[in-house]
Structure 1
Amino acid sequence: MIEVNDQDGLLIVTLNRPDKANSLTEAMLSDLAEVVEGADPKALILIGAGEKVFSAGADLEEARAGLATSPLWERVSGGLAAMQCPTIAALNGTLAGGAFGMALACDVRVGVLGASFFYPVARLGFLPQPSDPGRLAALVGPARAKMLLMSGAKWTAEEALNFGLIERLVTRENLMSSARGLCEPALQGDAANVRAIKAMVR
Structure 2
Amino acid sequence: MIHVHDAGGVWTLTLDRPDKANSLTALMLQDLCDAVDAACHAGARALVLTGRGKVFSAGADLDEARAGLATSGLWEALSGRVAAAPCLTIAALNGTLAGGAFGMALACDLRVAVPQAKFFYPVMKLGFLPQPSDPARLAALVGPARAKMILMAGARIDASEALSWGLVDRLAEPEALMQDATALTQNAAAASGEHVAAIKRMIP
**Taking structure 2 as the reference length, what is the TM-score of the superposition?**
0.96
Residue of structure 2 in register with 1:5 after alignment: 5
Taking the aligned partners of 1:174 and 1:187, their CA distance within structure 2 comes to: 19
Paired residue total: 201
Taking the aligned partners of 2:35 and 2:76, their CA distance within structure 1 comes to: 14
SS at structure 1 position matched to 2:23 = coil
Task: Confirm or deny: 8 A CA contact 1:185 1:194 kept in the other structure.
Answer: no
Listed as ranges, the gaps of 5+ residues in structure 2 are none
Taking the aligned partners of 2:61 and 2:152, their CA distance within structure 1 comes to: 22
SS at structure 2 position matched to 1:35 = helix
SS at structure 2 position matched to 1:39 = helix
SS at structure 2 position matched to 1:87 = strand
Residue of structure 1 in register with 2:21 after alignment: 21
Deviation at 1:186, TM superposition (A): 1.1
Deviation at 1:39, TM superposition (A): 2.1
Superposed CA offset, 1:62-107 (max 9, x none)? 0010000000000000000000000000000000000000000000
SS at structure 2 position matched to 1:4 = strand
Tell me if 1:194 matches 2:193. Answer: no
- Identical positions, percent: 64
Residue of structure 1 in register with 2:164 after alignment: 162
Deviation at 1:36, TM superposition (A): 1.3
Residue of structure 2 in register with 1:84 after alignment: 86
Segment drifting more, 30-39 vs 156-165: 30-39
Superposed CA offset, 1:116-163 (max 9, x none)? 000001001100000000000000000000000011110000000000
Deviation at 1:191, TM superposition (A): 4.0
Task: Confirm or deny: 8 A CA contact 2:50 2:94 kept in the other structure.
Answer: yes
Task: Confirm or deny: 8 A CA contact 1:92 1:172 kept in the other structure.
Answer: yes
Residue of structure 2 in register with 1:30 after alignment: 30
Taking the aligned partners of 1:172 and 1:130, their CA distance within structure 2 comes to: 31
Q: Which residue among 123, 132, 140 is the counterpart of 1:121?
A: 123
**Taking structure 1 as the reference length, what is the TM-score of the superposition?**
0.97
* Structure 1 ranges of 4+ moved more than 6 A: none
